[in-house]
Amino acid sequence: MGIFATLHKEHILIREQLDQMTQAVGLIEENKLPPRDFFDKSLEFGRTYTNKHHHFKEEYLLFSQLAQKYEGSIDAVVEKLRNQHELGQNHLSDLSANLGGYERGESECVSKVRHHLSEFVRLMEVHIFAEDAVFFNMAKELMSQEEQDALQSGFEAYENGQGEDPTPRCKKILEEARAILESMKPQEI
């Protein structure tokens, strides 16, 4: 699989997390608070899969190679994408910091958790769309097949250096998080 197909495929799993988070926002707004366990799983997915597995390959391999080669001309685009990664992480850290109060039902913390969840989803949806529909196509045009193949080897070297492929475990985490949300739906009789 080529580098862009790999990143695109990873986006599909990340979108599943965003979909769950959107549902969680809806539940909070109905005053049905998803349990702490849901957020712990979602945050673990964010750390392990989105940040470490996916963003690392984008930032330290794809973005830096392009920025180096096209000195200056694509800096603004790359900088914007990097900033969005960082802003997303900040939302997740702030969300995590409010989970104690959320669990105790403190209204300010509940509202902050809702805010950071919905802002994270909004940001990441825009970000993933920009990568899939614009940036990856642009990068594909700019890079020769040899450069793409070399980057593919870089992706593989990074993944091998990380040890076991986190994908099956991260899929399971998402399934478990999904099951928590499903269990909150009213049971049909």
Residue 78 engages Fe ion in binding (rule: CB under 5 A)? no
CB < 8 Å & 24+ apart, contacts of 55-59 = 55/85, 56/158, 57/3, 57/6, 57/7, 57/155, 57/158, 58/7, 58/85, 58/131, 59/85
State the distance between the two ends of the chain, measured CA to CA, in whole angstroms: 46
Among 24, 45, 49, 58, binds Fe ion (CB under 5 A): 58
Nearer to Fe ion, 20 or 58 (CB): 58
Residue 63 engages Fe ion in binding (rule: CB under 5 A)? no
Residue 49 engages Fe ion in binding (rule: CB under 5 A)? no
Q: Given the rule CB under 5 A, which of 31-39, 98-106, 126-134, 143-151 is the region that contacts Fe ion?
A: 126-134
Among 131, 139, 174, 177, binds Fe ion (CB under 5 A): 131
Q: How far apart are CA 70 and CA 83, in angstroms?
A: 19
Residues of this chain that bind Fe ion (CB under 5 A) = 58, 131
